[in-house]
Chains A and B, each alone.
Chain A
Amino acid sequence: MAETVETLPVVEQDEESKPKSGLEPGYRVICWNDPVNYMDYVTHVFQVVFGWPRKKAEFHMLQVHEQGKSVLTRESLEKAEHYVHQLQRYCLHATMERDE
Protein backbone atom coordinates (compact mmCIF):
# COMPACT_ATOMS: atom_id res chain seq x y z
CA MET A 1 0.00 0.00 0.00
CA ALA A 2 1.36 3.42 -0.87
CA GLU A 3 2.13 5.38 2.27
CA THR A 4 0.55 8.75 2.74
CA VAL A 5 1.23 9.43 6.39
CA GLU A 6 4.53 9.57 8.23
CA THR A 7 3.23 8.79 11.70
CA LEU A 8 0.59 6.18 12.02
CA PRO A 9 -2.07 6.28 14.72
CA VAL A 10 -1.92 3.68 17.45
CA VAL A 11 -5.15 1.77 17.19
CA GLU A 12 -6.34 -0.99 19.41
CA GLN A 13 -8.16 -4.00 18.11
CA ASP A 14 -11.83 -3.49 18.80
CA GLU A 15 -14.27 -6.18 19.76
CA GLU A 16 -15.65 -6.70 16.26
CA SER A 17 -12.19 -7.16 14.81
CA LYS A 18 -11.02 -9.73 17.31
CA PRO A 19 -11.27 -13.36 16.30
CA LYS A 20 -14.53 -14.86 17.45
CA SER A 21 -15.53 -18.42 17.93
CA GLY A 22 -18.77 -19.81 16.59
CA LEU A 23 -19.00 -17.47 13.61
CA GLU A 24 -21.78 -18.04 11.12
CA PRO A 25 -20.52 -20.04 8.14
CA GLY A 26 -20.44 -18.10 4.92
CA TYR A 27 -17.99 -15.94 3.06
CA ARG A 28 -15.11 -13.79 4.22
CA VAL A 29 -14.64 -10.44 2.55
CA ILE A 30 -10.90 -9.87 2.31
CA CYS A 31 -8.93 -6.81 1.29
CA TRP A 32 -5.42 -7.56 0.00
CA ASN A 33 -2.38 -5.33 0.11
CA ASP A 34 -1.06 -3.69 -3.02
CA PRO A 35 1.59 -1.02 -3.53
CA VAL A 36 -0.62 1.44 -5.39
CA ASN A 37 -3.60 2.40 -3.22
CA TYR A 38 -2.87 5.18 -0.73
CA MET A 39 -3.38 4.41 2.95
CA ASP A 40 -5.65 7.41 3.46
CA TYR A 41 -7.70 6.36 0.47
CA VAL A 42 -8.17 2.82 1.76
CA THR A 43 -9.25 4.18 5.16
CA HIS A 44 -11.76 6.46 3.46
CA VAL A 45 -13.21 3.62 1.38
CA PHE A 46 -13.64 1.37 4.43
CA GLN A 47 -15.48 4.19 6.20
CA VAL A 48 -17.81 4.76 3.25
CA VAL A 49 -18.51 1.13 2.34
CA PHE A 50 -18.95 -0.27 5.86
CA GLY A 51 -19.95 2.92 7.70
CA TRP A 52 -17.10 2.36 10.15
CA PRO A 53 -15.65 5.06 12.38
CA ARG A 54 -12.22 6.24 11.30
CA LYS A 55 -10.44 4.34 14.08
CA LYS A 56 -11.81 0.98 12.98
CA ALA A 57 -11.20 1.75 9.31
CA GLU A 58 -7.57 2.64 10.13
CA PHE A 59 -7.15 -0.58 12.09
CA HIS A 60 -8.13 -2.69 9.07
CA MET A 61 -6.12 -0.49 6.69
CA LEU A 62 -3.01 -1.07 8.83
CA GLN A 63 -3.74 -4.79 8.98
CA VAL A 64 -3.81 -4.86 5.17
CA HIS A 65 -0.59 -2.83 5.01
CA GLU A 66 1.35 -4.80 7.61
CA GLN A 67 -0.03 -8.33 7.25
CA GLY A 68 -0.86 -8.36 3.55
CA LYS A 69 -4.59 -8.74 4.01
CA SER A 70 -7.47 -8.11 6.37
CA VAL A 71 -10.71 -10.01 6.80
CA LEU A 72 -13.19 -7.17 6.79
CA THR A 73 -16.39 -9.07 7.50
CA ARG A 74 -18.05 -12.48 7.32
CA GLU A 75 -21.34 -12.56 5.47
CA SER A 76 -23.77 -14.61 3.43
CA LEU A 77 -22.96 -15.06 -0.27
CA GLU A 78 -25.19 -12.19 -1.34
CA LYS A 79 -23.91 -9.72 1.24
CA ALA A 80 -20.30 -10.70 0.62
CA GLU A 81 -20.79 -10.12 -3.11
CA HIS A 82 -22.32 -6.75 -2.37
CA TYR A 83 -19.35 -5.63 -0.28
CA VAL A 84 -16.79 -6.92 -2.79
CA HIS A 85 -18.63 -5.05 -5.55
CA GLN A 86 -18.56 -1.88 -3.48
CA LEU A 87 -14.84 -2.20 -2.68
CA GLN A 88 -13.96 -2.95 -6.28
CA ARG A 89 -15.88 0.10 -7.46
CA TYR A 90 -13.11 1.97 -5.67
CA CYS A 91 -10.47 -0.30 -7.27
CA LEU A 92 -9.41 -1.90 -4.01
CA HIS A 93 -8.06 -5.44 -4.28
CA ALA A 94 -10.93 -7.22 -2.54
CA THR A 95 -12.20 -10.77 -2.85
CA MET A 96 -14.63 -13.09 -1.10
CA GLU A 97 -13.55 -16.51 0.03
CA ARG A 98 -15.62 -19.32 1.43
CA ASP A 99 -15.26 -19.56 5.19
CA GLU A 100 -13.80 -23.03 5.67
Chain B
Amino acid sequence: MNLVAANNEAYVFHLGRREKTLLTEVLGLYPRVPAGYQRLSRQGRGAEVENAQQLLDEALAEQRAENTRLVRRLLADPARLGPDPAGKGWLLRLSPSDFEWLLQVLNDIRVGSWVNLGCPEARLDLKFLAPANAPDFWAMEFSGYFQMQFLEALNHRA
Protein backbone atom coordinates (compact mmCIF):
# COMPACT_ATOMS: atom_id res chain seq x y z
CA MET B 1 0.00 0.00 0.00
CA ASN B 2 1.53 3.29 -1.11
CA LEU B 3 0.50 6.90 -0.90
CA VAL B 4 0.63 8.04 -4.54
CA ALA B 5 -0.89 11.52 -4.27
CA ALA B 6 -1.95 13.92 -1.58
CA ASN B 7 -3.36 17.41 -1.54
CA ASN B 8 -5.79 19.39 0.59
CA GLU B 9 -8.79 17.58 -0.88
CA ALA B 10 -7.74 13.97 -1.14
CA TYR B 11 -5.19 11.30 -0.35
CA VAL B 12 -4.80 8.59 -2.94
CA PHE B 13 -3.36 5.20 -2.05
CA HIS B 14 -2.43 2.39 -4.38
CA LEU B 15 -3.29 -1.07 -3.10
CA GLY B 16 -2.31 -4.41 -4.51
CA ARG B 17 -5.08 -6.88 -5.22
CA ARG B 18 -4.47 -8.80 -2.00
CA GLU B 19 -4.22 -5.61 0.02
CA LYS B 20 -7.58 -4.46 -1.29
CA THR B 21 -9.13 -7.82 -0.37
CA LEU B 22 -7.51 -7.63 3.04
CA LEU B 23 -8.72 -4.08 3.70
CA THR B 24 -12.26 -5.02 2.68
CA GLU B 25 -12.21 -8.10 4.90
CA VAL B 26 -10.81 -6.21 7.87
CA LEU B 27 -13.30 -3.34 7.58
CA GLY B 28 -16.09 -5.90 7.34
CA LEU B 29 -15.31 -6.97 10.92
CA TYR B 30 -16.43 -3.62 12.35
CA PRO B 31 -17.65 -3.13 15.06
CA ARG B 32 -15.60 -5.48 17.20
CA VAL B 33 -15.29 -3.93 20.66
CA PRO B 34 -17.99 -5.49 22.84
CA ALA B 35 -20.77 -3.19 24.05
CA GLY B 36 -20.16 -2.05 27.62
CA TYR B 37 -16.39 -2.47 27.34
CA GLN B 38 -15.71 1.24 27.86
CA ARG B 39 -16.22 2.52 31.40
CA LEU B 40 -16.61 6.17 32.23
CA SER B 41 -14.97 5.97 35.63
CA ARG B 42 -12.98 3.63 37.85
CA GLN B 43 -14.40 5.24 40.96
CA GLY B 44 -17.65 4.48 42.76
CA ARG B 45 -20.90 3.94 40.94
CA GLY B 46 -23.13 6.68 42.22
CA ALA B 47 -26.32 7.61 40.42
CA GLU B 48 -24.53 10.50 38.73
CA VAL B 49 -21.88 8.22 37.23
CA GLU B 50 -24.40 5.52 36.30
CA ASN B 51 -26.51 8.02 34.37
CA ALA B 52 -23.43 9.33 32.62
CA GLN B 53 -22.37 5.75 31.83
CA GLN B 54 -25.71 5.10 30.16
CA LEU B 55 -25.27 8.23 28.04
CA LEU B 56 -21.77 7.12 27.08
CA ASP B 57 -23.01 3.68 26.02
CA GLU B 58 -25.74 5.26 23.88
CA ALA B 59 -23.33 7.75 22.31
CA LEU B 60 -20.84 5.00 21.44
CA ALA B 61 -23.62 2.83 19.95
CA GLU B 62 -24.79 5.73 17.76
CA GLN B 63 -21.24 6.44 16.66
CA ARG B 64 -20.67 2.77 15.74
CA ALA B 65 -23.88 2.75 13.70
CA GLU B 66 -22.77 5.88 11.86
CA ASN B 67 -19.26 4.50 11.27
CA THR B 68 -20.77 1.27 9.94
CA ARG B 69 -22.74 3.32 7.40
CA LEU B 70 -19.57 5.18 6.40
CA VAL B 71 -17.65 1.93 5.91
CA ARG B 72 -20.38 0.47 3.70
CA ARG B 73 -20.56 3.67 1.66
CA LEU B 74 -16.79 3.70 1.14
CA LEU B 75 -16.61 0.06 0.06
CA ALA B 76 -19.55 0.46 -2.35
CA ASP B 77 -18.26 3.61 -4.08
CA PRO B 78 -15.96 2.82 -7.05
CA ALA B 79 -14.90 6.47 -7.19
CA ARG B 80 -13.32 6.04 -3.75
CA LEU B 81 -12.22 2.41 -3.94
CA GLY B 82 -11.91 1.24 -7.50
CA PRO B 83 -9.57 -0.43 -9.98
CA ASP B 84 -6.46 1.55 -10.92
CA PRO B 85 -7.02 2.60 -14.56
CA ALA B 86 -3.27 2.79 -15.04
CA GLY B 87 -2.65 -0.87 -14.38
CA LYS B 88 -2.82 -3.55 -11.74
CA GLY B 89 -4.25 -2.94 -8.35
CA TRP B 90 -6.72 -0.57 -6.78
CA LEU B 91 -6.91 3.08 -5.85
CA LEU B 92 -8.29 4.26 -2.53
CA ARG B 93 -9.25 7.93 -2.38
CA LEU B 94 -9.81 9.43 1.06
CA SER B 95 -10.77 12.94 2.02
CA PRO B 96 -9.05 14.43 5.08
CA SER B 97 -12.27 13.95 7.07
CA ASP B 98 -12.38 10.24 6.15
CA PHE B 99 -9.22 9.62 8.15
CA GLU B 100 -10.74 10.21 11.56
CA TRP B 101 -13.64 7.78 11.27
CA LEU B 102 -11.44 5.27 9.43
CA LEU B 103 -8.84 5.39 12.21
CA GLN B 104 -11.62 4.93 14.77
CA VAL B 105 -12.95 1.94 12.84
CA LEU B 106 -9.55 0.30 12.44
CA ASN B 107 -8.68 0.81 16.09
CA ASP B 108 -12.03 -0.60 17.18
CA ILE B 109 -11.21 -3.73 15.17
CA ARG B 110 -7.71 -3.86 16.65
CA VAL B 111 -8.84 -3.36 20.26
CA GLY B 112 -11.87 -5.63 19.89
CA SER B 113 -9.68 -8.41 18.50
CA TRP B 114 -7.26 -7.91 21.39
CA VAL B 115 -10.17 -8.19 23.84
CA ASN B 116 -11.27 -11.42 22.11
CA LEU B 117 -7.73 -12.75 22.58
CA GLY B 118 -8.04 -12.20 26.34
CA CYS B 119 -6.30 -8.80 26.54
CA PRO B 120 -2.75 -10.23 26.49
CA GLU B 121 -0.10 -7.97 28.01
CA ALA B 122 2.61 -9.16 25.63
CA ARG B 123 2.49 -9.73 21.90
CA LEU B 124 1.12 -13.18 21.19
CA ASP B 125 3.82 -15.60 20.10
CA LEU B 126 3.08 -17.11 16.71
CA LYS B 127 3.65 -20.61 18.08
CA PHE B 128 0.53 -20.19 20.24
CA LEU B 129 -1.67 -19.50 17.23
CA ALA B 130 -4.53 -21.95 16.86
CA PRO B 131 -7.68 -22.10 14.74
CA ALA B 132 -9.59 -20.56 17.65
CA ASN B 133 -7.43 -17.45 18.08
CA ALA B 134 -5.79 -16.96 14.67
CA PRO B 135 -8.65 -14.87 13.18
CA ASP B 136 -8.47 -12.40 16.07
CA PHE B 137 -4.68 -12.29 15.95
CA TRP B 138 -4.59 -11.50 12.25
CA ALA B 139 -7.47 -9.01 12.49
CA MET B 140 -5.52 -7.18 15.20
CA GLU B 141 -2.29 -7.19 13.18
CA PHE B 142 -3.79 -6.15 9.85
CA SER B 143 -6.02 -3.43 11.26
CA GLY B 144 -2.89 -2.08 12.96
CA TYR B 145 -1.01 -2.24 9.66
CA PHE B 146 -3.59 -0.13 7.84
CA GLN B 147 -3.86 2.20 10.81
CA MET B 148 -0.12 2.93 10.66
CA GLN B 149 -0.20 3.41 6.89
CA PHE B 150 -2.89 6.08 7.26
CA LEU B 151 -1.12 7.78 10.16
CA GLU B 152 2.13 7.89 8.18
CA ALA B 153 0.28 9.51 5.29
CA LEU B 154 -1.17 12.14 7.61
CA ASN B 155 2.22 12.82 9.19
CA HIS B 156 3.81 12.97 5.75
CA ARG B 157 1.48 15.81 4.80
CA ALA B 158 1.76 17.67 8.12
A interface residues, Cβ below 8 angstroms from B: 2, 4, 35-38, 40-41, 44, 48, 54, 77, 81, 84-85, 88-91, 95-98
Q: Which chain A residue lies CB-closest to B120? A: A35
CB proximity of A100 to chain B, nearest CB, Å? 9
Known interface pairs A36-B110, A85-B59, A88-B38. Does A97 touch B148 (Cβ–Cβ under 8 Å)?
Answer: no
CA distance A98 to B144 in the complex (A): 33
Could you tell me if A90 and B56 are in contact, using CB atoms closer than 8 angstroms?
no
> Quick check: which of B2-10, B13-21, B70-78, B99-107 contacts chain A, the rest being far away?
B99-107
CA distance A96 to B55 in the complex (A): 14
Residues of B within 8 A of A97 (CB): 41-43
- For chain B residues 77-120, which have a beta carbon within 8 Å of chain A? 100, 103-104, 107-108, 110-111, 114, 119-120
> Is the C-beta of B60 less than 8 angstroms from some C-beta in chain A?
yes
If A88-B60, A97-B41 are given as contacts, then 6 extra A-B residue pairs at C-beta distance below 8 Å, sorted by A number, are: A37-B107, A41-B107, A84-B56, A89-B63, A91-B33, A91-B107
Could you tell me if B52 and A91 are in contact, using CB atoms closer than 8 angstroms?
no
Q: Which chain A residue lies CB-closest to B113? A: A36
CA distance A3 to B72 in the complex (A): 31
Q: What is the 8 Å Cβ interface bit string for chain B, positions 39-62, against chain A (1 contact, 0 not)?
A: 111110000100010011001100
CB proximity of B130 to chain A, nearest CB, Å? 20
CA distance A89 to B104 in the complex (A): 7
Size bracket of the B interface: 35 or more
CA distance A98 to B40 in the complex (A): 11
> Is the C-beta of B147 less than 8 angstroms from some C-beta in chain A?
yes
Known interface pairs A35-B120, A35-B122, A81-B40. Does A41 touch B103 (Cβ–Cβ under 8 Å)?
Answer: yes
Could you tell me if A90 and B151 are in contact, using CB atoms closer than 8 angstroms?
no
Known interface pairs A4-B148, A91-B33. Does A98 touch B43 (Cβ–Cβ under 8 Å)?
Answer: yes
**6 pairs from A and B in contact (CB 8 Å cutoff):** A85-B56, A85-B60, A88-B38, A88-B56, A90-B103, A91-B108
Q: Which chain B residue lies CB-closest to A87? A: B38
Which 8 A-B pairs give the minimum distances between C-beta atoms? A36-B114, A91-B111, A88-B38, A91-B107, A95-B41, A40-B151, A95-B42, A97-B43
